[in-house]
Amino acid sequence: MNYIAEINAFEQFVESNYLSSMAQLLWYKLMQKCNRSGWQEQIQISNLRLMADLHIGSEKTLIKARKELEEAGLIEVIKGKKGCPNQYKLIPIKNTVNNTVQSEAENPVENTVINTVQIENPVENPSRNTVKNTAIYKQNKNNKKKDTNVSKEKSAASNRFIPPTLQEVQAYCQERENKVDAEQFVNFYSAKGWYVGKNKMKDWKACVRTWERNHLTKTNRVISFNNFQQRNTDYNALVRDYYEKALLG
């Protein structure tokens, strides 16, 4: 599959076929993953992975975008079973574009008439122009609503906490040059479901800094205890002096 040719064909397809912005983004993500996999016939990806790549928090949004691509004939989806992600197959867009051109060519007379009215003599049929302008206005209005919904979903996804990997925690600890055990940190919060008290963790880097401060506090306490100088006191001499004073007094 020619990567650049497919992208050019996709852009040509979108010019004459409506696809939502989320469906277009999903196609590009699938194309990228196919390229990384060495253009395997099918690639296996979980819904959560795709949602993270698309920065969305709603699985319904992903399913809707995927359905658009299926109905457009751009992808095939083999539903996975429990514990087994879905498989995706990208269909070469050249075939899809050719089919679309053929279907549009079945009625060339109507297209020619509409183009003639709009370009050569728009004044003779103002009602047709009014209807078309109204349709474009409604479409733009609907697109604005969809874009607003997508922005809200992206905002929710950006606020959703994603647990860090051990490598990420190790890299952050090395950057701060602290003595925090990254593996102990990850194991501790993994066992707690990444909760801090009763609340879901929001910023794991802040928790690392808290562990760092606690480690310094404990270290200072140990140093302070080790530096304590015990007075050299002869308790037997004190007792002896006490009794001598009592007898002489």
Q: Model confidence at 126, in pLDDT bands (50, 70, 90)?
A: low
Angle at 228 between CA 224 and CA 233, to 5 degrees: 170
The total number of structural domains that make up the chain: 2
Q: Which of 95, 116, 145 is the last residue of a domain?
A: 95
Predicted local distance difference test score (pLDDT) of residue 156: 62
- Report the alpha-carbon distance of residue 64 to residue 161 in Å, rounded: 24
Lookup: tokens for 193: 């479901």
Domain membership of residue 117 (yes or no) is no
Domain extent, residue 62, equals 3-95
* Residues 198-221: tens digit of each pLDDT: 899 989 999 999 988 888 877 766
Same domain, 91 and 9: yes
Kindly report, residue by residue over 68-119, the tens digit of the pLDDT.
999 999 999 998 887 788 999 989 886 555 554 444 444 544 444 444 444 4
Query: What confidence tens digit (pLDDT) does each residue in 16-26 have?
Result: 899 999 999 99
Tokens of 154: 């992206």
End residue of a domain, out of 63, 95, 127: 95
Q: Which of 78, 95, 112 is the last residue of a domain?
A: 95
Angle subtended by helix axes 47-54 and 59-71, to nearest 10: 90
Two tokens, residue 132: 């078309």
Question: pTM to 2 decimals?
Answer: 0.40
Let me know if residue 102 belongs to a domain: no
Q: How confident is the model at residue 38 (pLDDT cuts 50, 70, 90)?
A: confident
Q: Is residue 124 part of a domain?
A: no
Q: Backbone phi, then psi, for 227, in 5-degree steps? A: -85, 0
